[in-house]
Every structure is written in structure tokens, then in C-alpha cells.
Amino acid sequence: MSKIREVLDCAIRDAEGNRKGGYVGKRGKVYPNYMHNEEWAEYKKMIPDKVKEKLKKETEGVPPKMACFGSSCRIAYDKLKGVEGVEFEKILSTIVSRGKANLDAYVKRGNLDIFVEAKCGEIYIEESPYLSTYKEIQKRYKKFSYSADISSFMLGDKPIIHFDIKQLICHFLGITAGLLKGTITAEKVRFVYLIYNPNDVKEFIADDKYRDEILEQYQATLDEIDLFDMKELFKTMYEIQKENLKIKRNIKEDFIVESCFEFKLVDQNHLNGLFD
């Protein structure tokens, strides 16, 4: 784990009541950015069994991933557990290379399907790409480019460094495949991209260097996301999946991306009204 991510985790820990964390693992190793063992045991008891089963990979292990104060799964769960009908860990087939899209949460409201992806510490580490999918996108989405030699992304002349475009593309592939196959029957889709705002805990980061770096990377991530026309990107995924699935007929008179898809970039403080 990167030092910058651990610093943010500990700041979240301290902001939540100055809890000192400290999960004790094998051979007595202490993880200061995780809930201590007793606290985690109490937290886990409060998770309903059906949700716990869904979050099995996150609630097991040494230390359990969800015990981390900066766990995006924990943040998504804490913020959305009160939302009526919420389903955690929604898994969609992408069709591409038998891949799957794992979204943090899903809510259905009549003819509106709402998908939620949460990010916290992930924006402070690098992710590896899916080269074959990027090449397909590059043919259609002309502003997007990828260099395999240096494993970098560009949108126009701007480098994409912190924003995990790879995972977003995977999620879009899963949603568009579901729409085309009829496993997603919504007339409208809302994609909520929840990124934890570190400004809430900046006063708990004593080291100026780390505080500045975290805030700068957070803002850089927002700036990178803002470069994308998300409807255009979603439409590109829809067209690719239509060819992958060899669908020649219109489904429900076809899903009209321009009017039926919306992308919402929010932080942990601006979720009200998104699930109405």
C-alpha cells in the first residue's frame, strides 16, 4: 500500500472520532489504518447476513479489506445502507473476454436503474489496463489514445493519470451488454461515480507534503474526469457491444444514450436526491 493512501486512511480514522485503529494480523503485525480487531468484529455484526454474503471478499482476509478506514466498499456501504432497495456488489457480465463488471451498489426506481461506483484510496495508486478494449475504443472515440509502450492514456493532449478509465469502461461494457441482452430493462440509466473528498479530513493530516499531494491528486482526478464526454463514451461502449453480441435489430427501439443515460460525479456529501 502506498504511503499517501495510508496517510489518507489514517486521517479518515481520526476524523471519525480519533479512533486509533490498529488491526493485529499474523505474527502480531499491526495495520494502523484499519479498525482494531474488536471494533471490526462489532462492525461486521451490524452488517445483515445477506449483505455480508455479497461482500464476502471484502469482509474476510487478514486484515479484511472492508476494515480499512479508506475502503471504498466501507464508504459505499456506510453511505448507502439506508437507501431503500439497495443491492451491494452488483455483478454484470461484460461479454468481453468473459469479463465481469463489479459495481459497488445498484438501486432500481421504476424505469430508472441506478449504478454506483465508489472510490477513495484507489485514485492514489496506478491501475493496469485492458489493452484490447482500449484499441477498440480508440478506433471509435477519436479523442482517446493509448500507448502500450509507456502504458499511458491521453484524451486529446491531456494525460489521464489518476482517473481509473479502465474500470469505468468495464462498468459501461457491463451495463450496455445488459441493456442489449434485456437483463437490464430500464428505460433510463444513472451512473453515480462517488469519489471521497479528502477536504473533509485535511485538518487531520499533519504533514503538509502529504496533505498537499492528496488534495492535488484529488483535484487532478476530478479534472481528468471532466475531460470526458461520458455520454459519448457510453454510446461508444453501446456500439461495441451491439457488434460483439451481433445484434442487428433495435432493442426497445434502441436505448437512446443522449436522453436516457446520465453520469453523476459526486462526493460523500452530495448523495441526496440521487435515489429518489
Least confident of 161-165, 185-189, 226-230: 161-165
**Average pLDDT across the chain, whole number:** 86
- In whole angstroms, what is the distance from residue 241 CA to residue 170 CA? 12
Residue 232 identity (one-letter amino acid): E
DSSP percent split of the chain into helix, strand, coil, nearest 5: 45, 20, 35
Cell of 212: 498537499
Cell of 269: 456529501
Q: Which residues 6+ apart lie within 8 Å of 135 measured at CB?
A: 146
pLDDT at residue 121, as a whole number:
86
Residue 12 pLDDT more than 70? yes
More reliable by pLDDT, 244 or 45: 45
- In whole angstroms, what is the distance from residue 112 CA to residue 84 CA? 14
- In whole angstroms, what is the distance from residue 179 CA to residue 186 CA? 8
More reliable by pLDDT, 146 or 72: 72
Mean pLDDT value of segment 23-51: 93
Peptide bond into 63 cis (omega under 30): yes
Which of 112, 106, 203, 119 lies closest to 168 in space, CA to CA?
A: 119
- Look at the alpha carbons of 86, 5, 63, 130 in this order and tell me if their dihedral is positive or negative: positive
pLDDT tier at 162 (50, 70, 90 boundaries)? confident
Cell of 251: 432493442
Residue owning grid cell 479528502 = 198
- In whole angstroms, what is the distance from residue 212 CA to residue 205 CA? 9
The 100-109 sheet, strands edge to edge: 87-93, 100-109, 112-119, 188-195, 261-266
- Strands 23-24 and 30-31, by their bridges, are antiparallel
| pTM of structure | 0.87
**Do the Cβ atoms of 113 and 105 come closer than 8 Å?**
no
pLDDT tier at 129 (50, 70, 90 boundaries)? very low
pLDDT at residue 128, as a whole number:
41
3-state secondary structure of 260: helix
pLDDT at residue 159, as a whole number:
74
Least confident of 2-16, 118-132, 157-171: 118-132
Please, what's the largest Cα pairwise distance for the chain? 61
DSSP per-residue string spanning 42-110: HHHHTS-HHHHHHTHHHH-TTTTGGGBTT-HHHHHHHHHTTSTT-EEEEEEE--GGG-EEEEEEEEEET
